Structures are given as structure tokens and as C-alpha cells.
Amino acid sequence: MRPSAALTGRLAAVGLLGLGMLALASMMVGKYGGGLQPLLIALRQLVTGETTDPLLATVLWNVRLPRVLAAIVVGAGLAAAGATYQGLFRNPLVSPDLLGVSVGASLGAVLGIFLSLPVFAIQLAAFAGGLLAVLVVTIIGALVRERDPVLTLVLAGIAIQALIGAGISLIKVLADPYDQLPAITYWLLGSMTAITRFDVLSILPAVILGLVPLVLLRWRMNILTLGDEEAKTLGVDTLKTRIVLIAGATLVTAATVSVTGIVGWIGLVIPHIARMLVGPDFRRLLPAAMMLGAAYLIVVDMLARSIADIEVPLGILTATVGAPFFLWLLIAGKRGWS
């Protein structure tokens, strides 16, 4: 049964409230300045302009706050991209790296680290690598017109991922084992250790630009899940709509991966959870997936910097949680796609 608009609004309010509480809790987790009292002290210093504990202010506002904001942006973006890809391809096994976005971004970042480029240049190379990989896959799909276009895109994406993966492996072999190789390995595992406010601001335009078509065309996504023939009879230009939605989801994924590295499983698992909670209607599924993705990555980031003496890479934690949950979905899930 479809929930009323009032109920949907209340659920959205509860979700936003929960997300805000998680963000606040994340600000209080850390080796230094943990708990509520240091946060209140830092807030008082911010309001009054006092400098009684400059280190505390630096940790909270320049280290922890950018990480919380990055977790919200990256988690929401990857979840939205995953929900979009799964709806477009009508396949619950699809994730944002299907078309080679993540591995293309990885190649760009790895190449930047290998060439000893500055951090911003590495992020730019990762962003360009993700977009270039999808562009190549799209061109291949356009050249093979006589076959199923969706299947062609998937197969081309798999081939490109294998080719780029070989390039990444070659660079790892050639990299300095004492300096470059550890940096490459750590980036590939995903981390928000060095995230700054500038990093968050630098990806926001691309993330917003990518999310706009997903939000505006979310009602057409419902029609696309019926199949191309049914969608065409309802007056939807399936080719143009798919191109716009794929471009938006790809832009979001490339932007987020460029600053955090590979953070897997969010775009694969979170849309499933959102779908179980609110149903397959993309108008509700998209915002639900975004809120859940943001909340999930906040929790994972809190665990990453608190469960051990050293920070655990995000990719390890997301895989540890995501893989068993996905296996459970495969074994126990019996609901249809639509």
C-alpha cells in the first residue's frame, strides 16, 4: 500500500533527524576531544572567539567536521548512483562501478601518485579517469548497435575494468615500494583521513550537478523499470533518458571516488535496504537511499577511527559489513524486482 504524502513527510523528517544525530555523534568520536563536553567547549570558543584550546578547535572543525560532511556527501551520492543503476538495468546486482567508473578513477589517482603529483592534481586525475572510462564504454556501446544496448554496456564495462585493472597492477609493480606503493594501496582501500573542507567544496558542484537529473527524472525511472516497449508507449524517450541518468550517476560516482578512494558496497547494498523499507517507487527510493547511504558511511567512518589504534580503511569495513548482508539477501530475498 502506498503511504500518504503526510506519512512520507514524517518519515523523511525522522530520517533527517536521525542523520543529524549521527553526524553530531560522529563529531564526538575520536582519540582526542571525544565526548560531549569537548564539543560544547569548542562551540563556545567558536561563538565567543576564545582561543583557550586551539588544538581542540582544530581537531573538531578542521579534521572531524570535514569528515562528517564528506561521509554525508559521498554516502548519499554513491547510494543514489547505485539505486539509479539498479533501476536502469533492472538488475539488483548492479553497482556504481558497473561501467568502469571506480576503476577508471583508481587508474587516474594511481597514476597521479606514481608521478608524485600534488593532492588536488591526484583528485583531478581520478575524476577525469572515471569519466574517461565511462566515455570509452559508452562509445563501444554506441558502435555495437545491432545487439542489446544494455548487455553491450555491461560487457564493455567488464572488459574495460579488466584492462584498467591490469594497468593499475603494472603501475603498482613499477612504483617505489617504500613511498608510492603504500600510498597507492591505501588510496585503493578508501579513506577519509586527509579530507579537508576544500575537498568537500571541490566535489559539491559535480555531485549536485549529477543528482539534479536523478531527482528531476525520478518519475521516469519508474516507467523505465517496466521495460523499453512499455516506456515508449507511454511517451518516454528511453535512449535519451537512459543517457541522462547514466551521465548523472557516473558524474556523482567519479566525483566522490576522486576524494575518498574506492568505498565499495554502498551503491550495491544500501539501495536494497531502502527498497525493502519504502518499496521500489523511485520517487521514494532515491531520497531514502541517499539518507541511508549518508548515515551508513558516517557510522563506518566512526568505526574506522575508533575500533583500533590505527585507522582502518573504509573499504575493509564496508566490505566486511556489506558482503555478508548481500549474501543474506541472495539467500533469503524472494521479492520481485518491481
What are the two backbone dihedrals, phi and then psi, of residue 284, each rounded to the nearest 5 degrees?
-100, -30
Contacts of 244 (CB under 8 A, 6+ apart): 213, 217
Q: Residue 1's pLDDT band (boundaries 50, 70, 90)?
A: very low
The pLDDT value recorded for residue 82 is 92
Distance CA 155, CA 56 (A): 51
Predicted confidence (pLDDT) per residue in 52-103, tens digit: 778 888 888 899 999 999 999 999 999 999 999 888 877 777 777 777 888 9
Contact 68, 190 (CB under 8 A): no
Judged against a pLDDT cut of 70, whether residue 336 lies above it is answered with no
| 334 against 274, higher pLDDT | 274
Contacts of 178 (CB under 8 A, 6+ apart): none
331 DSSP 8-state letter:
H
Q: Which of 289, 272, 292 is nearest to 211 (CA)?
A: 289
Return the percentage of the chain with pLDDT > 70, whole number.
93
Chain position carrying cell 554513491: 78
Q: Residue 149's pLDDT band (boundaries 50, 70, 90)?
A: low
First to last CA, the chain: 14
| Cα-based distances in Å from 140 to 18, 81, 135, 165, 247 | 44, 22, 9, 18, 15
Chain position carrying cell 528511453: 238
Contact 109, 187 (CB under 8 A): yes
Predicted confidence (pLDDT) per residue in 293-332, tens digit: 999 999 999 999 888 888 889 989 998 888 887 787 777 6
Judged against a pLDDT cut of 90, whether residue 167 lies above it is answered with yes
Q: Residue 194's pLDDT band (boundaries 50, 70, 90)?
A: confident
The pLDDT value recorded for residue 119 is 83
Contact 97, 253 (CB under 8 A): yes
Average pLDDT over residues 178-192: 89
pTM confidence score: 0.88
CA 313 to mean position of chain CA atoms: 15
Average pLDDT over residues 2-22: 77
- One-character DSSP codes across 141-168: HHH--SS-HHHHHHHHHHHHHHHHHHHH
Judged against a pLDDT cut of 70, whether residue 334 lies above it is answered with no
Q: Residue 337's pLDDT band (boundaries 50, 70, 90)?
A: very low
CA 119 to mean position of chain CA atoms: 20
| 288 against 222, higher pLDDT | 288
- One-character DSSP codes across 216-246: HTHHHHHHHTT-HHHHHHTT--HHHHHHHHH
